[in-house]
Amino acid sequence: SQTIHQWPATLVQPVGSPLSLECTVEGTSNPNLYWYRQAAGRGLQLLFYSVGIGQISSEVPQNLSASRPQDRQFILSSKKLLLSDSGFYLCAWSAAQGALREQYFGPGTRLTVT
């Protein structure tokens, strides 16, 4: 069965510090990968998605970047965090092909920028 991991689970970082959040998927090959941010009491905002190694699409202009160095690894980064980067960050995967379009989410990382 497929499993998706995210770490760290919780992070408190000062403004201006760098960020690296990691997501890995097990039990599947060539998945589509996604990074979302969820602000308190709000829906999910898609930040980045990737259909393959080194292929990243950005949905919104922002202070963040994403990379996919391996097939099942997705990294969210920032060089200098802003207060507005605080939120709940979720990684998700879906099958690359086929009729099934569901996305499956990891446990999330709660980021607080102080």
Partner 1 sequence: QKEVEQDPGPLSVPEGAIVSLNCTYSNSAFQYFMWYRQYSRKGPELLMYTYSSGNKEDGRFTAQVDKSSKYISLFIRDSQPSDSATYLCAMGSGGYNKLIFGAGTRLAVHP
27 binds partner 1 (CB under 8 A): no
24 closest CA partner among 38, 7, 45, 11: 7
Binding mask 73-102 for partner 1 (x = CB under 8 A): ---------------x-x---xx---xxxx
Q: Which is nearer to partner 1, 22 or 108 (CB)?
A: 108
Choosing from 41, 54, 61, 69, the residue that interacts with partner 1 (CB under 8 A) is 41
110 closest CA partner among 37, 48, 47, 58: 37
* 34, two tokens: 């996604």
Using the 8-state DSSP alphabet, how is residue 40 labeled?
T
| Residue 8, preceding peptide bond in cis (omega within 30° of 0) | yes
Binding site for partner 1 (CB under 8 A): 6, 32, 41-44, 46, 49, 51, 57, 88, 90, 94-95, 99-108, 110
